[in-house]
A and B are shown apart, each in its own frame.
Chain A
Amino acid sequence: MNNNMDYVLDVKNLSTSFISDRKEIRIVKNVSLRLRRGTTLAVVGESGCGKSVTVHSIVKLMPKNAKVSADHVIYRSAKDGKEYRLDQMEPFGTEMRKLRGAEIGMVFQDPMSSLNPVYKVGDQVAEGLIQHTGMSKAEAQKQVLDMFRKLGIPDPESRISDFPHQFSGGMKQRVVIAIAMICNPDIIIADEPTTALDVTIQAQIMELMKSLQVNDHKSIILITHNMGLVAEMADEVCVMYMGRVMEFGSLEDIFENPSHPYTQALLRSVPVLGLAEGQELGTIPGITPNPADLGPGCEFADRCPFCQDRCRQKDIPRFEVSPGHYVRCLKFDSFQEVD
């Protein structure tokens, strides 16, 4: 575990639960994942599977009724070569704040509501920069201009003093990305960055993100339910279902050799251009269960065609089916169990 400088983010057994109606509901369960420096990790799954909660738990932007615990959440900074234990930091303390924005940038799902309607976009982008570097407003503005140019926002000199409502959705998302990028962070966490956008704009934004990763050597966590995007963007994929990582592996592992029944079903449901006549698009039978009603055992058991009695008895361990390819399914209990 000492050559781990390669992993910019290392999460071990992260669990999050919410307290509602005086009941504790587990939303994220023992999630472990690692983000390799300069690569993109895609977290995929149906809506409500805990993808967003996972990353929000990592950066500790959680509401007060959430309980987060983890064996460790380690961030390894390239700037100073230090390891930071995120799980041991105060959510809104100085240490955590120093990392947020500066080392970990975030892009949220809905650009329409992610920008504060009452401030000029330039100021909003510059805010983080000024906070972390203490530079003057004028200097910051200059950097913002550069960033706008880089992100392909036309006419940045005048747009910089416009208000969010004067921007289109795609442009707003570029501004949000600018906010995430302005301090030159190592990691960008993009929480469904294109869901709220038009298809053509989606492609532009994704291209932009890809180029950031490749050219600026950023590490990206991409949260999405769009398998197409995953195929295009990701280096590694983490498939989640009901707060659990069902399968984790490289892009090839997942797409060429999907092992978990859920991953297989997920992939079958992706529309492919030139679908042969008579070939049906797969659906996953049943509906997503209510997290409060889940029993023990595999969360996917109810919808799984391979389900056996033993699947419903206790939590399913992880099996490493090939190096770096983990599956949480008893079908693979012949493989080595890792925790």
Chain B
Amino acid sequence: MSSQTSVFEQANKKHASSLLRKNIRKFVNNRLAMIGLICVVVIVFTAVFAPLLTSYDPNKISLGEKNTSPCMEHLLGTDNLGRDVFARVLYGGRVSVFVSVMGALMGSLVGMVLGSMAGYFGGKLDMLLVRLSEIFQTFPEMILIMILVAILGQGVGNLVLVFCITGWMTTFRMVRNEFLALRGETYVQVCEAFGMPKAAIMFKQILPNVLSPVIVSATVNVAGFILSEASLSFLGVGVPSSVPTWGNILNAAKSVEVVSNYWWLWAVPGGVISIFVLAINFFGDGLRDVLDPKQQ
């Protein structure tokens, strides 16, 4: 009897690991997704290890060598204050990636917690939260972000908060709907009958079932927030302009003079933003194919 169970367990394990292997293989075979993953990893890596990759201080001003085109000394040239563009883009990536990743993570977290609660407890709480999410969704995102920035003030931390406030609704709806569907499942009722704490049922038993789409939507949000950060810089309500971020660097290069004379000042941050967003999107698509095939 026991040997039989262990056989089954083994079979299960084998099945599970082969599923994982199959998924990994599927992902690796998706060439775009792999390229995306590699780009994201490379960009994040260079941002994190910026001090090792460049000896320049991104804020070091050297007015004597302003607007130098890319050369050996300054790989990607310098800006109008003689700051090294390569260093600025690396350090800028730290802030931009941090803000968007944290924003997406926090948004997903809030969405998951509220969604679990709404879906599990239902009733008035559910109604209230759904209404709230509808209201948030009714607002044009950009306008909501601008108002929130006006209230909270500009700053890296505040921007994360703003992204979190404006980005939880999709996750919320997804998690809530899934919870509504799963709440009636037998295994949940069994857990309840065993007297398992509600929080444990919610987060340990049900939540793992919805993690895949949540992860996918969080990746997509990261891409969106990178673009939002750039737009906010353009409108002058993003991260304070003294902090180098991709958005701020690109925004500083929007003048006609720069666009027509100093290509590296806009092409580099613009290119990095586009590549990162593209890569994240490819990566997210690949992830979706693997994790969540039915929800294309």
Contact = CB atoms under 8 A, between A and B. Distances in A.
Interface of A: 21-22
A134 to B, nearest CB: 38
Contacts of B26: 21
A interface secondary structure, majority:
loop
A22 B25 CA distance: 12
B15 to A, nearest CB: 10
Contacts of A22: 29
Nearest to A21: B29
Contacts, number: 4
A19 to B, nearest CB: 13
A21 B26 CA distance: 8
Nearest to A287: B11
A22 B29 CA distance: 10
A21 B21 CA distance: 13
A163 to B, nearest CB: 23
Nearest to B26: A21
B14 to A, nearest CB: 12
A2 B26 CA distance: 51
Nearest to B22: A21
4 contacts: A21-B25, A21-B26, A21-B29, A22-B29
Contacts of B25: 21
Contacts of A21: 25-26, 29
A116 to B, nearest CB: 20
Nearest to B29: A21
Contacts of B29: 21-22
B10 to A, nearest CB: 13
A21 B29 CA distance: 8
Interface string B7-40: 0000000000000000001100100000000000
B82 to A, nearest CB: 53
B4 to A, nearest CB: 13
Nearest to A290: B18
Nearest to B11: A287
A22 B30 CA distance: 12
Nearest to A22: B29
